[in-house]
């Protein structure tokens, strides 16, 4: 079992005035979009802000979020009609992942701007390590048509360098991790993980190299913890799964998902939100990036691996896992390889922990543009 090392304490001392934020989220990939937006909204509230989260599909929040919801955070259906628009538009409007706010809300923004109180309008983009992120971060975009023509929208890019918006990191994350470190053995035992077993979490789409991975799990004496949904369906479709040590999990709130990543010796994650959580966990991980039809995700994955300084075995595993090379090229894992991956990932985590987190950067940006 690999040791678990909690993050160092966050150092954020800036106090910002309490503002109202309207955050818009259109669900594309079930969990990733919702996960990022919820964590962003919840952490803004934890830092004294008021947030309205506007969603076209909020069903995942029924199991994804801790109950009760934080005071100051409310969730609303997508505002398609003028009757759905609040009497006062927020001080900040955020379009997550480039989704366009509905026209009725744009009319309300324009009215507020006419009164001399334009909100700070932010397009919160996808996370990437590609070069364009540093070039485009914080750039303005003049709105040329529609009810809000003439107003400015600002691009805000999460990223991995100090010239980007960094990553979402809760102020209490290190305290949570330190507390869990004393409970980690009990967590593993509750999931049926024996003392000599390698605990591996699986949150994926349908990787073509999944059969090859399952075939080699006995060499690590693996206990496989499979998340519900597409990962469970992909595993259960393979005959080899019937003879392996597998625990099929139930849906769980985000804090419990984080704890799974902290407890496991290897995390196979997918999408954006779980990538960030795997980084903060500091355990070996493999990222199943969201596939795009033109294979643009291959360049995005390579850029991330370059930033990470990934060792050759981690690069080869990622490329086979993401269908960039043949499934048969999937390297054979060992505890020595996982230890090598852990050193690399923890070095990357240390660099990121020194950066100002995304929430603090967002608040400082709003203060600058207000």
Catalytic residues, by residue number, are: 33, 272
- The DSSP 8-state label assigned to residue 250 in this structure reads P
**Residue 24: strand, helix, or coil:** strand
The residue with tokens 């800036």 is 14
Residue from 198, 185, 171 nearest 14 by CA: 171
Distance CA 259, CA 190 (A): 13
CA distances from 123 to 152, 169, 224, 308 (A): 11, 19, 38, 26
**7: alpha, beta or left, given left = phi > 0 and alpha = psi -120 to 50?**
beta
Scanning 182-229, the segments in alpha helix (DSSP H) are 184-190, 210-216
**Can you give the C-alpha Rg of the chain in angstroms?**
21
Distance CA 97, CA 83 (A): 25
**Residue 292: strand, helix, or coil:** coil
Q: Could you tell me which residues come within 8 angstroms of residue 289 by beta carbon, excluding any fewer than 6 positions away?
A: 270, 271, 297, 300, 301, 322
């Amino acid at each position: 079992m690999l040791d678990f090392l909690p993050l160092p304490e966050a150092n954020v001392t800036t106090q910002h005035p309490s503002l109202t934020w309207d955050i818009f989220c259109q669900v594309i990939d079930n969990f990733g979009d919702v996960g990022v937006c919820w964590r962003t909204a919840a952490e803004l509230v934890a830092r004294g802000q008021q947030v309205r989260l506007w969603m076209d599909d909020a069903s995942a929040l029924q199991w994804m979020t801790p109950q009760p919801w934080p005071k100051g955070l409310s969730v609303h259906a997508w505002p398609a009609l003028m009757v759905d628009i609040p009497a006062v538009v927020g001080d900040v409007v955020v379009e997550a992942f480039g989704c366009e706010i509905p026209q009725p809300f744009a009319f309300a923004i324009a009215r507020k701007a006419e009164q001399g109180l334009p909100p700070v309008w932010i397009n919160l983009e996808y996370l990437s390590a590609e070069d364009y992120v540093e070039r485009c971060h914080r750039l303005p975009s003049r709105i040329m048509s529609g009810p809000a023509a003439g107003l400015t929208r600002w691009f805000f890019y999460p990223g991995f360098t100090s010239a980007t918006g960094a990553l979402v990191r809760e102020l209490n994350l290190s305290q949570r991790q330190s507390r869990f470190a004393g409970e980690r053995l009990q967590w593993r035992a509750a999931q049926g993980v024996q003392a000599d077993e390698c605990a591996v979490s699986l949150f994926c789409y349908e990787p073509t190299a999944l059969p090859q991975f399952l075939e080699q799990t006995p060499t690590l004496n693996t206990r496989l913890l499979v998340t519900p949904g597409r990962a469970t369906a992909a595993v259960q479709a393979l005959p080899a799964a019937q003879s392996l040590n597998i625990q099929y999990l139930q849906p769980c709130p985000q804090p419990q998902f984080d704890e799974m990543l902290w407890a496991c010796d290897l995390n196979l994650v997918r999408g954006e939100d779980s990538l960030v959580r795997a980084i903060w966990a500091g355990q070996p991980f493999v990222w199943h990036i969201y596939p795009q039809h033109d294979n643009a995700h291959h360049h995005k994955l390579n850029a991330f691996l370059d930033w990470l300084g990934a060792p050759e075995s981690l690069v080869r595993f990622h490329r086979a896992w993401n269908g960039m090379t043949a499934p048969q090229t999937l390297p054979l894992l060992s505890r020595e390889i996982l230890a090598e991956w852990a050193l690399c990932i923890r070095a990357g985590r240390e660099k990121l922990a020194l950066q100002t987190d995304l929430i603090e950067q967002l608040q400082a940006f709003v203060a600058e543009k207000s």
